[in-house]
């Protein structure tokens, strides 16, 4: 028997079907698990789902279309699980052969999703997240917005979220630099202009700056320094490495970590990393 069918056959009766909020919650948990593949991916799919849905709402998408886009963003990186961490976490430039492996992950996402009729419906957007409006993307090299307008939104969202997160080979872009790069790509026809503008507005660019009095507090009541420590801890850095990165002593770094645990109600690095993903501290 095919392993897929064998596993499904072992599921206890009665078999539970998920839809609505329950399906959204299940996909979010699965996205978090997939993003734990690499410390540099933590929270990535959640951020894409939230930003993409915000952009879709600005573009006037129906609620059903917004839901479909949000779900597609949650599952879009399933294929990353089949690419080794020696590639995702490589601190230098990828070789051509290594990038060939990277280019496979949208195709693998497509193959995984089409196993399920319900998830297969998300494929026109999910598996096109690295396609471009000029056909220069991958893996099919089709126009990102040709089949579904949501594909253009997710393509721009994926780039913005990726640029503003730390990667193994570079520090994160500032929000302003990432916005400037998105505008450049849109002006050159690489990204769909309306979708790109909606993503930028949803990300806070082009909107009046909030006053200091309305600035949101950090989640969990964490201080700014505790947020910095948590972000690094969630990416797998040791206490000493955190101390070196933030120019503090290891004892001070450990003191911050213990305070973070107390404030957010966890006792392990793994639980802290999941909490950070769930509260958009990392991504």
Q: Where are the domains of the chain?
A: 17-207, 218-278
Radius of gyration of the chain measured on its C-alpha atoms = 20
Asked whether 203 and 162 are in contact (CB, 8 A), the reply is no
CATH of domain 17-207: 1.10.3210.10
The pLDDT value recorded for residue 147 is 57
The residues, ordered by sequence, that sit 6+ positions from 56 with a Cβ below 8 Å of its Cβ are 65, 66, 69, 70, 150, 153, 198
The pLDDT value recorded for residue 207 is 56
pTM of the complete model: 0.80
CATH of domain 218-278: 1.10.10.10
Paired residues of 167 in beta bridges: 170
CA distance 31 to 167: 18
The pLDDT value recorded for residue 143 is 78
Domains 17-207 and 218-278 share a fold: no
Asked whether 24 and 72 are in contact (CB, 8 A), the reply is no
CA distance 77 to 119: 13
Q: Which two tokens stand for residue 133?
A: 């409006």
Q: Which two tokens stand for residue 170?
A: 């570079």
Residue 160: CB atoms within 10 Å: 27
The pLDDT value recorded for residue 146 is 57
> Which residue positions in the chain have pLDDT lower than 70?
144-147, 207-216, 283
The pLDDT value recorded for residue 148 is 76
- How many whole angstroms from its chain centre is CA 104? 18
The pLDDT value recorded for residue 81 is 96
∠ CA 105-111-117 to the nearest 5 degrees? Answer: 135
Burial category of 262 from C-beta neighbours within 10 Å (exposed 0-12, middle 13-18, buried 19 and up): exposed
């Amino acid at each position: 028997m095919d392993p897929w069918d064998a596993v499904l056959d072992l599921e206890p009766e009665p078999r539970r079907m998920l839809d609505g909020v329950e399906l959204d919650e299940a996909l979010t948990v699965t996205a978090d698990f997939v993003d734990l593949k690499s410390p540099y991916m933590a929270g990535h799919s959640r951020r894409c789902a939230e930003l993409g849905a915000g952009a879709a709402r600005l573009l006037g998408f129906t609620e059903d279309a917004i839901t479909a886009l949000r779900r597609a963003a949650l599952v879009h990186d399933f294929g990353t699980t089949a690419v080794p961490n020696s590639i995702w976490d490589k601190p230098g430039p990828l070789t051509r052969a290594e990038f060939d492996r990277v280019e496979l992950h949208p195709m693998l996402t497509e193959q995984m999703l089409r196993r399920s009729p319900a998830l297969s419906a998300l494929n026109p957007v999910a598996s096109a997240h690295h396609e471009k409006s000029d056909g220069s993307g991958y893996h099919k090299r089709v126009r990102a917005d040709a089949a579904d307008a949501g594909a253009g939104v997710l393509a721009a969202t994926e780039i913005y979220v990726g640029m503003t997160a730390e990667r193994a080979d570079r520090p994160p872009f500032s929000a302003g630099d990432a916005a400037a790069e998105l505008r450049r790509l849109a002006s050159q026809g690489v990204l769909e202009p309306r979708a790109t503008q909606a993503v930028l507005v949803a990300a806070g660019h082009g909107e009046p700056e909030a006053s200091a009095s309305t600035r949101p507090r950090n989640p969990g009541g964490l201080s700014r320094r505790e947020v910095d420590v948590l972000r690094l801890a969630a990416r797998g850095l040791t206490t000493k490495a955190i101390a070196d990165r933030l120019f503090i002593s290891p004892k001070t770094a450990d003191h911050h970590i213990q305070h973070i645990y107390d404030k957010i109600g966890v006792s392990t690095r793994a639980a802290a990393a999941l909490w950070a993903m769930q509260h958009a501290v990392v991504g």
